[in-house]
Structure 1
Amino acid sequence: MIAMQYSIALPRDYDMAIIRRRIAVRGHLMDGFPGLIFKAYASADVAGEPPGAEGNVYAPLYLWDSVEGMNAFLCGPGFAGLAHDFGRPAVRTWSVWRAWVSPQVTQACYATREHIPIAPGAALDALREAAQAVAEARMAEPGALAALVGFDPTAWTQVRFQLWGAAHPPVPGPGVAAYTIGHVSTAAA
């Protein structure tokens, strides 16, 4: 599995209703996309949710079952349209160590992303086991609809994503970005 995210930073005075409309009109286009486990249409709005957002951003989160689906999307018309409208963003990817996705993931309203540096010399096998245990603990948290942990060996960082239902609005903190989810697409949709 591969986790993927790109972030489009928008001006502080940007009308985020434009992004919400974009999601409402185009979100369903990824429903049923081959190789997609989920795409969470994530955004943060300085004037709205989640509380404490540092800036306006459109930052979808993806979980792919293989590189073929990811490549089909990145080389296809959907990503080309995004690049036309906003410029081609840098796309971050992570190798997934553990992922859990609830059958109700399409009901997600919020997401968090946490980056954790991997210390030089850290035993990656032990780190992977510990990260998998964290993901399993987060799966059991009330309101959790998806949890995954992975790593980026180019920057030697760990990433943790979690998707939540309506009753669990996240609060960003040091190293934690929080988002509102406007739509969730899955291959099964």
Structure 2
Amino acid sequence: MQAMQYELTLPADYDMDVIRDRVARLGHLLDDWDGLGVKAYLMRERGTHGSPVNQYAPFYLWNTVEGMNSFLFGGPFQGLVGDFGRPAARQWTGLAYEEGTAADADAAFAVRQRRPVPEGVPLTEFAAQTAEETRRLAGRDGAVLVAAAVDTARWELVHFSLCSHRDPAATGARDAGGEVFQVLHLSQPGRKTLRRGRRW
């Protein structure tokens, strides 16, 4: 599993209905994309759920590198590049994945929690703790799915959660300082083949 995300930070007065309309028109194009586990079409709106910015920030869980590369270099990504410029696409290597207590529900919002991998802690111990935390987050009321991945260039961990509640505060999902995104659409052609549990 490979996680990927890019962020388009937009002007403070940007009409975010442009993003909503874009996703409504184009979101279905990845509903059957080979090699894709999940793509969450995410948006933050200035002043909503504590967001300081307007932002479009899709998050991907890839089953295969080939699927990711065919998206980035095979055409579809170029449409976004043509409209907004080419964003940096962050990538993280998957450590753990879990289906949540509300796995069959529609995702209403996402929470992204990022933190550095601490110095002085054995990486085997850190990875085991991360897998346990992923299970704990997936056990929360309203959790749809949870993934954990690490960027070994920056030694940064990301926990990504999808939740069914309309109110993020209802799950306590922000208690670790996570950033909250609205889910506009969810493409999940390979979600059932994302292996649950740890990835080592």
TM above 0.5: yes
5+ residue gaps, structure 2? 192-200
Q: Kindly tell me: are residues 135 and 108 of structure 1, through their superposed partners in 2, closer, same or farther at Cα, counting changes over 3 Å?
A: same
1:14 aligns with 2:14: yes
Give the equivalent residue in structure 1 for 2:138: 139
Contact 1:53 1:172 in 2 (8 A): no
Q: Distance in 2 between matches of 1:72 and 1:131?
A: 30
Partner deviation per Cα, 1:105-157 (whole Å, 9 max, x = no partner): 6x111001111111233311100000000000111111100101111100011
State the secondary structure of the residue aligned to 1:96: strand
Q: Kindly tell me: are residues 161 and 55 of structure 1, through their superposed partners in 2, closer, same or farther at Cα, counting changes over 3 Å?
A: same
For residues 95-174 of structure 1, the aligned pairs below 5 Å read: 95-101=93-99, 104=104, 107-169=106-168
Of stretches 174-183 and 96-105 in structure 1, the one that deviates more from structure 2 is: 96-105
Give the equivalent residue in structure 2 for 1:91: 89
Aligned length: 186
Q: Distance in 2 between matches of 1:24 and 1:31?
A: 13
- What amino acid does structure 2 have at the position aligned with 1:142? D
Q: Distance in 2 between matches of 1:75 and 1:100?
A: 29
Give the equivalent residue in structure 1 for 2:198: none
5+ residue gaps, structure 1? none
- What amino acid does structure 1 have at the position aligned with 2:151? D
Of stretches 74-83 and 14-23 in structure 1, the one that deviates more from structure 2 is: 74-83
Give the equivalent residue in structure 2 for 1:34: 34
Query: TM-score, normalising length from structure 2?
Result: 0.87
Q: Which runs of 4+ in 1 moved over 4 A?
A: 170-175
- What amino acid does structure 2 have at the position aligned with 1:176? G
Superposed CA RMSD in Å reads 1.8
State the secondary structure of the residue aligned to 1:94: strand
Question: Among the aligned pairs, what percent are the same residue?
Answer: 37
